[in-house]
Structure 1
Amino acid sequence: HDFLLKGDVFTQDVIDTWISYKRENEINELRLRPHPFEFTMYYDI
């Protein structure tokens, strides 16, 4: 993500905060739920 730092558009702190937010509020929530392909593999009759 070096291109985001060029020209002082974003600071490293802003990028780190955004990544942390996405992990805590979106990615971790997705991990708690089955993926659609898992339904196909295990529950499709």
Structure 2
Amino acid sequence: MCRKTESIPRQATDFEMNASDWYPGLYLLIPVKDGERKQPIKLLKK
């Protein structure tokens, strides 16, 4: 399992991630705000 962390400015309402070097597959993104995990996001990379 690979773990990657990115910080996003607190006032941001959206963001972009560069996934061009990721292998195809299913990824689970887990947003964390103020130390609390939020709703996980499933991402399918073809």
TM-score, structure 2 length as denominator? 0.20
- The answer to which structure has the higher helix fraction is 1
- The answer to which structure has the higher strand fraction is 2
Greater Rg over alpha carbons, structure: 1
TM-score, structure 1 length as denominator? 0.20
Higher relative contact order (CA 8 A, sep 6+): 2
